Amino acid sequence: MSNATQTWAPYGVELSSRFLLGTAGYPSPQVLAESIAASGTQIVTVGLKRTLAAGGDNGFVEIIRTAMQEHGAHLLPNTAGCRSAREAITLAHMARELYGTHWIKLEVVGDEHTLQPDPWGTVEAAAQLTKDGFAVFPYCTDDLVTCQRLLDAGCELLMPWGAPIGSGQGLINPFALRTLRARLPGVPLVVDAGIGAPSHAAAAMELGFDAVLLNSAVSQAVDPVRMARAFGLAIEAGRAAYEAGVMAPQDMAVASTPVSGHPFLIN
């Protein structure tokens, strides 16, 4: 599925896939394994807090480890469900010890209704985790100043939301996302959360974002495996379109085949 145009390098690790896939809510371990394979993903996330709350991983982590071996995937533990910087920091250290990776997706919830990340708690946790040697993938809103503070805290990559987690609304504020891309041209940006359809993922990639992370849109689909494949194709197509140069919208009609003022070559 992937080709050279898809290559990117989060925290210096070169990857050919720009699709990050969550692992929660699948109907069975087998469907999860097949979805990982169909997606072509090379980064899969796992929520440590939810795993511990369930009393064990039920083989899911082993499935992910198998995917890492078979498809060159990397494990990205996350701090989903944490309500404070201190809680997220503690969980990140547990994840590093359990999974043997310094990568961490940082989530600090600030609002119970929207599950919007707490900007102050996220920045505080990011600063400490960076000092502790973690490669932090911070889940944040599309607020430019918050994103700049996360970069100041040591993050090399940002993961702004497209919409609230699990809402499936797509890109609710394209202006803010375009602003982030324009103001942070050298920073890897991953749209994380709110993606509900492959067209949403393609739209994010067409804006120039480096990757897309999603979970529910695949795991809750009638056919998760086919949906994972659909998202993989959409992400690849969106990136190719961005690199090719997406046509700018026009206020008025512009003839695609003008007939005056242009010479014609007739054999």
3-state secondary structure 73-125: CEEEEECCCCCCHHHHHHHHHHHHHHHCCCEEEECCECCCCCCCECHHHHHHH
Residue 167: CB atoms within 10 Å:
17
13 vs 32: CA distance, rounded Å: 24
Contact 169, 194 (CB under 8 A): yes
Spatial CA neighbour of 98 closest among 124, 71, 64:
64
26 vs 31: CA distance, rounded Å: 7
Active site residues: 105
Residue 150 is inside which H or E element, if any? helix 144-152
127 vs 113: CA distance, rounded Å: 26
What is the DSSP-derived secondary structure letter of residue 132?
A: T
CA neighbours closer than 13 Å in the CB half-sphere of residue 29: 11
Token reading at 34: 């097949």
